[in-house]
Chains A and B, each alone.
Chain A
Amino acid sequence: AQRVTQPEKLLSVFKGAPVELKCNYSYSGSPELFWYVQYSRQRLQLLLRHISRESIKGFTADLNKGETSFHLKKPFAQEEDSAMYYCALRVGGTYKYIFGTGTRLKVLA
Chain B
Amino acid sequence: DAGVIQSPRHEVTEMGQEVTLRCKPISGHNSLFWYRQTMMRGLELLIYFNNNVPIDDSGMPEDRFSAKMPNASFSTLKIQPSEPRDSAVYFCASTRTGSSEQYFGPGTRLTVT
Our count of residue pairs bridging A and B at CB distance below 8 angstroms stands at: 53
Closest CB of chain A to B21's CB: distance in Å?
16
In the bound assembly, the distance between CA atoms of A98 and B58 in angstroms comes to: 12
- Is B41 close to A, CB under 8 A? yes
Q: Which of B66-105 contact A (CB under 8 A)?
A: 91, 93, 95, 100-105
Q: Which residues in B have some Cβ–Cβ distance to A below 8 Å?
A: 3-4, 31, 33, 35, 40-45, 48, 50, 55-56, 91, 93, 95, 100-107
In the bound assembly, the distance between CA atoms of A46 and B55 in angstroms comes to: 23
- Leading 4 A-B pairs by shortest Cβ distance: A101-B42, A99-B43, A44-B104, A102-B42
Q: Are B91 and A101 in contact (CB under 8 A)?
A: no
In the bound assembly, the distance between CA atoms of A90 and B107 in angstroms comes to: 21
